[in-house]
Amino acid sequence: MIDSQFDLVVIGGGPAGIAATSTAASFGLKVAIIDERATFGGQIFKRLGEGFAIQSPDDLGKDYARGARLIDELDQPRISKFTATTVLTIEANQIITSHPVEGVRSFNPKALVIAPGAYDRPVVFPGWTLPGVMTAGAVQTLVKTQQISPGKRIFFAGSGPLALAFSAQLIKYGAPVFKVIESAPFPSPAKLLGLLSSVNGNWDLAGDALRYRSTLLSKRVPFHYGRIIIKAEGSGRVEEVTHARVDRDWNPIPGTEVVESADTLCLGYGFFPSHELFRLLDCNFDYDETRGGFTVAKDHWGLTESSSPIPIYAVGDGTGVTGSYSAEAQGRLAGLHIANHLGSLSTTERDTQSKGFLKELNQRNKFQRAINKMFEVKQGIYQLADANTVICRCESVKAKEIDPVIDSTCDLSVVKSYSRAGMGLCQARNCQRQIAAMIAKRHDRSISEINFQTPRMPVKPVEIGKIADPSIREEKYFIQ
């Protein structure tokens, strides 16, 4: 079924997607918002899982209330909501989705907003695939939505503002984090001054950071700068973690290793934008390691350059990680631009209404840039694996199996064909940058010069029966 009734389709129901949807709908546009999760809110505004009754919403913190207000904006008659619906591909102007019960559906709108968010940056080192090694996002989801702590002795290794935020949040939720290491050095006075000069318009975030720091101090949880995780060991699950001091490039300094016992290792080294759909659309990209590597190129309205017959807007963390306030402002700006583009809002009115959001976006971005300078991700993060480390966890491909292939190619798609690395369920979301870094090192190039694997549909796993035509029988391949 092709659904052509919508002016706009928005992919992603986090702050960016919700803001774009409700803004565009408030000017009379008919909008469909699609998210693969069961509820809207995205990463930051995850709702409690099924079966929980909320006695006092205030106890769930200010993020919960902000999320509830935002999600309520979707209750407008011109908005159609599609949850548990995964976008599998976009072909020309057709967005193809799959739902576990309702099956495949196609949308054919006049404009498209893609707001797919980001995911935890995978860090590859010996032992990273052991049970008990978890990304911060996964641990956060467990404690936030199910109120379950993954362990009794949690070691937190990471970098950037969310390493501080996550570890403090986990402690608040009752998860026993006993130590935190941060790979960046203690910020220099110049970097702190840079941060102070950009704090205007960001007092809420600065206040949050101080509260997170004081949570760790009050619980006497040590926080060490300039250290990185190098190994996790245990029989069947994590029992010990090893970390070491780093040099300027985050390479571990021999002789500085410390071994600690832990039953959970939580990793929070930042995020990678989910750019699969932008790659399918052949959008242009920039590169910024600290914002997650490749980031889609766009103007301040979110409009991308692509060969698609309809305008494609990219907003939120999926375009480079800048946080939820910036994501929301980006969504509002895209919504205003689309309303103007489709004739529901005059250009003068669009420009008047966008002023406040542009100001907020500039202030938020300035603050984020100052933070990024304090926590620049260095290339040592890609140098932690040894020959026996599994690089592609979906297909269990080790470094020593990829090594001979990269001798003769710089092409990730060739590495995939020869070694199966990147061919599995996650479609290289976890291993692609690591392999790119191995290629870059071997061929003396920069990681930004190593292009993506060729993007393929479906961008997310789907049952073959949902997308295949059951009337086609091919005896040669399928046994009845």
Ligand X SMILES: Cc1cc2nc3c(=O)[nH]c(=O)nc-3n(C[C@H](O)[C@H](O)[C@H](O)COP(=O)(O)OP(=O)(O)OC[C@H]3O[C@@H](n4cnc5c(N)ncnc54)[C@H](O)[C@@H]3O)c2cc1C
Binding residues for ligand X, rule: CB under 6 A, are 11-17, 34-37, 42-44, 86-87, 115-120, 137, 140, 165, 169, 271, 274, 316-318, 323-324, 327, 459-460
What minimum distance in Å lies between the beta carbon of 11 and ligand X?
6
- Nearer to ligand X (CB atom), residue 96 or residue 439: 96
For tokens 């997650």, name the residue: 292
- Smallest distance, Å, CB 163 to ligand X? 11
**Taking CA 300 as the corner, what is the angle to CA 294 and CA 303, rounded to the nearest 5 degrees?**
70
Return the number of the residue (116 or 151) whose C-beta is nearest ligand X.
Answer: 116
Contacts of 327 (CB under 8 A, 6+ apart): 14, 15, 16, 19, 115, 315, 316, 317
| Smallest distance from ligand X to CB 37, Å | 5
Tell the smallest beta-carbon distance from residue 345 to ligand X (Å). 22
Query: DSSP letter string over 148-202?
Result: --S-SSEEEEE-SHHHHHHHHHHHHTT--EEEEEESSPPPPHHHHHHHHTT-TT-
User: Please, which residue, 215 or 419, has the CB nearer to ligand X?
Assistant: 215
Task: Give the HSE-up count for residue 34: Cα atoms under 13 Å, Cβ half-sphere.
Answer: 23
Question: What is the H or E stretch that residue 403 is in?
Answer: helix 399-406
Minimum distance of ligand X from residue 226's CB (angstroms): 24
We find the least distance from the C-beta atom of residue 187 to ligand X, in angstroms, to be 20
Query: Between 264 and 419, whose beta carbon lies closer to ligand X?
Result: 264
Beta bridge partners of 314: 114
Find the distance separating the first CA and the last CA of the chain, reported in whole Å: 28
Nearer to ligand X among residue 86 and residue 183 (C-beta): 86
Return the number of the residue (311 or 318) whose C-beta is nearest ligand X: 318
- When the beta carbons of 156 and 271 are compared against ligand X, the nearer one is 271
| In the complex, least distance from residue 92 CB atom to ligand X, rounded to whole angstroms | 18
- Cβ partners under 8 Å of residue 226, min gap 6: 182, 183, 184, 185, 186, 245, 246
Residues 374 and 187: beta-carbon distance below 8 Å: yes
Q: At residue 385, what are phi and psi to the nearest 5 degrees?
A: -75, 150
Distance CA 12, CA 82 (A): 10
